[in-house]
Amino acid sequence: MDYQRIPLGPRKKIALVAHDNQKPNLMEWVKFNKDLLSQHDLFATGSTGQLLKEKLGLEIKVLESGPLGGDQQIGALIAEGKIDFLIFFWDPLEPLPHDPDVKALLRLAAVWNIPVACNRATADFLISSPLMNAEYDRLVPDYRAYRERLKK
């Protein structure tokens, strides 16, 4: 398969998502990394975004809550090339009514080769990478042949 290079600048577009039981964990992580995160464009689903704005004073584009379509909004932004990075502290022990949306979001992140952190340890490793504030060419499968087949 051929690949296309998607250039990412040093300023990344980062989506922040947390299930209810993980919100305190994400809040603490964002607070610890506030200075670094403030150098990037931030997006978040509903109540997570509101909490981050109110408690930490960060500028964040707040989308709908996850169950009301926020996960799907982030997935659409990924497909449109408007999200470069996903921090999603999900609760693997708590079944949620919008689990299909969560699975779809994670699938889109894989389809478009978006770095994803689903827990604090991975988020720590990703955010401390030298690539975080550097230019980077993200390789994405060239889906032109797939799109052409759909047209027929």
Catalytic machinery residues? 71
Q: Encoding tokens for residue 13? A: 């577009």
Task: Provide the β-strand partners of residue 8.
Answer: 136
Any residues with CB less than 8 A from the CB of 106 and at least 6 apart, and which? 88, 116
Write the DSSP symbol of residue 10: S
Give the span between the Cα atoms of 109 and 78, in whole angstroms: 7
Q: Determine contact, residues 81/138, Cβ cutoff 8 Å.
A: no
